[in-house]
Amino acid sequence: MDAERLPPNDAELLLRLVRGMTEIDFSGAFRHGLSAQELMAVITALPTRRLNELTDRVRLPALPAEQQRQHHQRQRLAAAIAAAREGAEISQAELARRVGVPPAEVDQWETGVTQPTQPHLASLLHELPALKELLEELPVQPPPDPRPSR
């Protein structure tokens, strides 16, 4: 049943229940008892950023180390842009207007599909002062390899 169709009190209770679950309980509730088709429907309903994270977890181990490193850098930049924009409390459309790009381009930057050009990055730094700090905090090394050692 869709949370939008539930009476407000039931929807609030469900949100509290899910937010209070541990990661193991939450994942177990969705992995067990759902057919592959039902589980795929849940997965594809995720926000784009979360869906991309899952897809990356599947694809990344097969890439050469340098491509993995580049991917992690793109994702860290994407997360920093999104966090800075959200912290500034402006929409993607408003940021796009200020930077002079279509709104879809801001979405692509924030999901790591593309990266801003140098002039656009300069505009982003001007429009989102917190972005500079977030970029300075980024780790230099990529995260550890998720594959087990042999």
Predicted confidence (pLDDT) at residue 143 exceeds the cutoff of 60: no
Residue 40 lies in a domain: yes
Between the alpha carbon of residue 147 and those of residues 52, 63, 99, 150, the distances in Å are: 19, 12, 39, 9
Q: Which residue range is the domain that position 128 belongs to?
A: 65-137
Structural domain count, the chain = 2
> Which tens digits make up the pLDDT trace of 78-135?
999 999 999 999 999 999 999 999 999 999 999 888 899 999 999 999 999 999 888 8
Whether the pTM exceeds 0.75: the reply is no
Residue from 48, 66, 51, 68 nearest 110 by CA: 48
59, amino acid identity? R
Predicted confidence (pLDDT) at residue 43 exceeds the cutoff of 70: yes
72 and 128 assigned to the same domain: yes
CA distance 71 to 58: 13
